[in-house]
A and B are shown apart, each in its own frame.
Chain A
Amino acid sequence: MYKKNRTHLKINTAISVLHMQGESASATDDLKSRFTAADRQLPIDERRKSETLALLCRETQSRANRPVQNKRLLLRNLLRYTDRSLPGIHILCCTALPLLLLYAGNRDFFGENDAAVMVFLSMVFPCFLTFFSYFELRQLCLTGIAELGKTCFFHAGQLAALTMAFSGILNLMAVSAGIFLAGLQWKIRLLQLCLYVLVPFIFMQCLCLGCMLTETGRRHPWLNAALGLTLPLCLSSLSQSQTAYTEAALLVWAAALFTGILILAAEIRIFFIKLEKGDILCTE
């Protein structure tokens, strides 16, 4: 801005100097005629002129297939043609979770032990949802779509980020709805319930993404599923213990959540670095 103003200032001064000298009109006319004369002396190579024209035409033609600049349009196009079967089932399951909790709450399903069972269930369900995220990511990265994608405008990193964001947000929404409903019905403190639900959820994410990072994990998706199923077992053994769900243990839960988030963040970072390098896409 400052620079621009200064140039303006210079030009204005030059003009006013010319004005002051009272020869503005004649001076500019003189300059103009000199330029035209000089132009006339420049030889124009007709061959090169037509070559340049042809080059320009070709360039404009090839610009016809340049990418669309409108990001919104791009995204709309991508979503329109992208595969929707797995995400569709994912959305269904995510809506089913809060509904199921509501239904169970209204029916007084588990009698005496209601609250404990519900807490247990609302811990296990999100873990189950995590599998969807995992398989969506697998479908993208390991079936070769991403290898193809890496040579396109939307590269693999963006596609993976889009997939992760989609399934992450979906899962989080389902989980928060679950927490809210469970908390409301069984009069458990929300913050406390949050910890109970989020800790296994986050650890499950860590487990799944961790599997994507290792060659063995990528080769054997069912190994991951088997590992994942041990988590509910751990949880149920935890629920037998007297101290795990006391207020005193809350600090331990919070620490666990914090650690889980740190691990997950590190894993996401490594994942994207590996994706960029091509290590994940190009398994033999």
Chain B
Amino acid sequence: MHRVELADLNKTFKNKAAVKDVTVCLEHGVYGLLGENGAGKTTLMRMFCGILEPTSGSILCDGMPIRQMGGDYHMLLGYLPQEFGYYKDFTALRFLNYMAALKALPEEYARNRIEELLELVGLQADRKNKLKTFSGGMIRRIGIAQALLNDPEILVLDEPTSGLDPGERVRFRNIISSLGKNRIVLLSTHIVSDVEYIADNILLMKDGRLIYAGDASRMLAEAEGCVWKCLVPEPEVPALEQQYMISNLRPHASQVELRVISRIKPAPNAEPAEAALEDAYLYLLNKMAEV
């Protein structure tokens, strides 16, 4: 088991700061990295994998800078980029073989492992088909398979579930939670429910900063008492939307049922509701905006 520490990590592109002062320590378990578009998730993950050099700060694996570890660190890694590159004319099988060669896996081991993984991601039937004939979800699955080729101890997945259908999503969630027991799994997503059930820890990013790191129950506790449910006439909705953060909106006969996130009671008839992780996510993002 390994331990990866990020300390005061910064990354600036030209004059845009994409990641600011991120300090966090990852040990075994599943880490869900949440954040809006452009929050800096991909940039953070790229630095974590040693693809991008931080502008300042350090990344240590078991106390050793990952730059110094070089290939040794890469041997531990499995990485799925947000959009990953592949040769369109390769078949699924050849692509996985190519990746296995890049990862310097022994031939015999690679052959067995590839069969295992094709089965795991449900693509055995398409193994001889060219990647250019694959749908977005199938490409994603091949991407997941290549990340798992070397049975990595540190697995970094950038939006692994984007483009997967609900059935595949559930299957994938199960794979991840079974993997997370004795390794580090860091996965980013916009979809809170993706990490709700599987992440032991949640990392929340906003504008390049890490604004929350901890488990889901603590995150829920933060939003406790700030979630309200109320029924309001339809014409009042825009005004409320202006004033408060609305996490859900559902027409209900002539009225609209709103789920409002606010520290104060938003309407006279509003009732407190139990916070869901999504509410907590919105609450924390919003709280930061207020500060």
Contacts from A to B (Cβ < 8 Å):
62, 64-68, 74, 77-78, 80-83, 85, 143-155, 159, 276-278, 281-282
Contacts and interface: CB of A to CB of B under 8 A. Distances in A.
B98 A81 contact: yes
15 contacts: A65-B106, A65-B109, A65-B113, A67-B103, A81-B97, A81-B101, A83-B89, A85-B89, A143-B87, A148-B99, A151-B79, A152-B74, A153-B103, A276-B53, A277-B52
A38 B49 CA distance: 50
B75 A144 contact: no
Given A77-B101, A81-B97, A66 B52 contact: no
B85 A153 contact: no
B107 A277 contact: no
B266 to A, nearest CB: 39
A154 B102 CA distance: 5
Given A81-B94, A148-B81, A148-B146, A62 B50 contact: no
A143 B132 CA distance: 14
Given A67-B103, A145-B87, A152-B74, 9 more contacts: A62-B151, A65-B106, A77-B101, A78-B98, A148-B146, A150-B50, A152-B99, A153-B103, A277-B53
Contacts of A278: 46, 51-53
B199 interface: no
Nearest to B103: A152
A144 B84 contact: yes
A150 B49 contact: yes
Interface string B32-73: 000000000000001001111100000000000000001100
Nearest to B76: A151
Interface of B: 46, 49-53, 70-71, 74-75, 77-79, 81, 83-87, 89-90, 94, 97-107, 109, 113, 146, 150-151, 156
B49 A65 contact: no
A238 B275 CA distance: 77
B51 A282 contact: yes
Q: Which of B78, B85, B100, B109 has the most CB of A within 10 A?
A: B85
Given A83-B90, A147-B84, A148-B79, A155 B104 contact: no
Contact of A151 (B51, B85, B107): B51
A151 B49 contact: yes
Nearest to A74: B104
Contacts of B49: 150-151
Contacts of B83: 144
Given A83-B89, A277-B53, A282-B46, A154 B104 contact: yes
Contacts of B150: 65
Contacts of B84: 144, 147-148
A257 to B, nearest CB: 35
B77 A151 contact: yes
A192 B268 CA distance: 93
Q: Which of A62, A65, A66 has the most CB of B within 10 A?
A: A65
A146 B49 CA distance: 13
Contacts of A78: 98, 101-102
B101 A83 contact: no
